[in-house]
Amino acid sequence: MPGNEIHSNHQLWPLLLYAGIVFILLIAILFLSYLLGQHHHDRATSKPYEGGIEQTGSARLRFSAQFYLVAMLFVIFDVEAVFIILWALGFYELGWFGYAGVAIFIGQLVVVLIYEWGIGALDIGVDGRKILRKYRELTS
């Protein structure tokens, strides 16, 4: 319908006007920042941090892969906590089907947690038993 196209364009012009104003303000702010900003190159300007603390050593530290694995597990279980909280908010509306669904979900989380624990993914740092065993081998 031709009348419907005109009506949809009529509702679109405020959004386009807003986007245009935002774009113009963005360009103006960037230009003024460049124009009025300080253009100096001191000794500390080229350093990673301008806090006045002298840099010692390299900022590139090696982390073990175990650190990243634990970080990923934390993120995964943290996201699942959000799902459980959302389920709790809709508890009365979901009824027994919702309860069964979240029970299965939590059961799967427990199984995954037991599996991760079993393969040693949650063991952070050195294993005290291995160190003690090695010490006993060396002293005997």
How do residues 19-30 score in pLDDT, each as one tens digit? 999 999 999 999
Pick from 3-7, 60-64, 94-98: least confident: 3-7
Average confidence score pLDDT of the chain: 80
**Alpha-carbon distances of 98 from 77, 80, 84, rounded to whole Å:** 20, 15, 11
Higher pLDDT pick, 121 / 11: 11
User: Which domains, from first to last, does the chain contain?
Assistant: 63-139 (1.20.58.1610)
Q: What is the pLDDT at residue 86?
A: 86
The arithmetic mean of pLDDT across residues 100-125, rounded, is 84
Q: What is the pTM of this model?
A: 0.44
Q: What is the pLDDT at residue 80?
A: 85
**Alpha-carbon distances of 37 from 29, 40, 108, 112, rounded to whole Å:** 11, 9, 56, 54
Q: What is the pLDDT at residue 5?
A: 54
- Using DSSP's 3-state secondary structure scheme, residue 114 falls into helix
Task: Give the separation between CA 113 and CA 78, rounded to whole angstroms.
Answer: 13
